Structure 1
Amino acid sequence: MEEISRGMFVCEYAGEVISFAEAKRRQFGKRTEENNYIIAIREHAGTSSITETFVDPAQVGNVGRFLNHSCTPNLYMLPVRVHSVIPRLALFAGRDIHAQEELTFDYSGGYGTQPAAEAPLTVGLQRKQCHCGAMNCTRFLPLDLSILS
């Protein structure tokens, strides 16, 4: 209902922090028409250290799970640690946002980069169409295949 200034904290993408095995189990248990809220965050520290965190707000979450994807988002996500090794997924305004403008973020984690075009079919899975309407729209929502391997 009000303007949001660039750099301002908007909300947390809150949910259950789950293991890779649990994320995989939940993903394989979903029907094609069901929504997938699981976010996989990969943090790189040096050349060989990658920390993965999986957050699923489907059952335990907040308003963040209702934010839509856009290939030209106005929010970006950063992992933030507050008295814990487990990050909280904070969404910040990437630019000034007008009152009543839809809040969106790039489900692949990008912001301000040209999205890569992706094929509609991947490993036998039907990709979900993107309806963001951006000039640079890739036509399909991002899909993290690592959870399916």
Structure 2
Amino acid sequence: MKQNRYFLSLLILVLLFSCGKTILPSDNKEEDEIEKQDSSSSPDELDLYTISEFIEGDFGNREVWVHGYIVGACKRSIKQAEWEPPFTANSAVLLADSPDETDATNVISIQMVNKQMKTEIALDANPQNYGRHIAFCGVKQKYLGIPGMKKHVQASEWLDE
């Protein structure tokens, strides 16, 4: 009986101390092999792409700067895009080469990846940002059904100031 209690206690201790988060390699090799640039560099110091260049470009997993005008907000799918105020979505902003663009084939989506972006850039909290010129640094990925930046948005900078 004493042996069983000892064995059970030992087993519980082993299980408790062996529990931990195991970090496995990502199934998505693209996420593991992202070529990082110094995102502290400004868009003036690196290649800066227009929205049309970004849509057509193949950058692999390299981070790039893209600039455009904030023309809308979106969540879940480009079909749910909001092109004029009042804005309710804070998941993403839509950028275009022209501040008047409303054609989904001419815009890209930028995920608001953190609370700071949602409070400083997203249109639901900042409708005054509608039409402003901004640049983002990140990795091109499909987001909301169109080209954009998702997860790997490293930096942003207002260009109209």
Structure possessing the higher radius of gyration over alpha carbons = 2
Q: Calculate the TM-score normalised by the size of structure 2.
A: 0.25
- Structure in which a larger fraction of residues adopt strand: 2
- Structure in which a larger fraction of residues adopt helix: 2
Q: Calculate the TM-score normalised by the size of structure 1.
A: 0.26
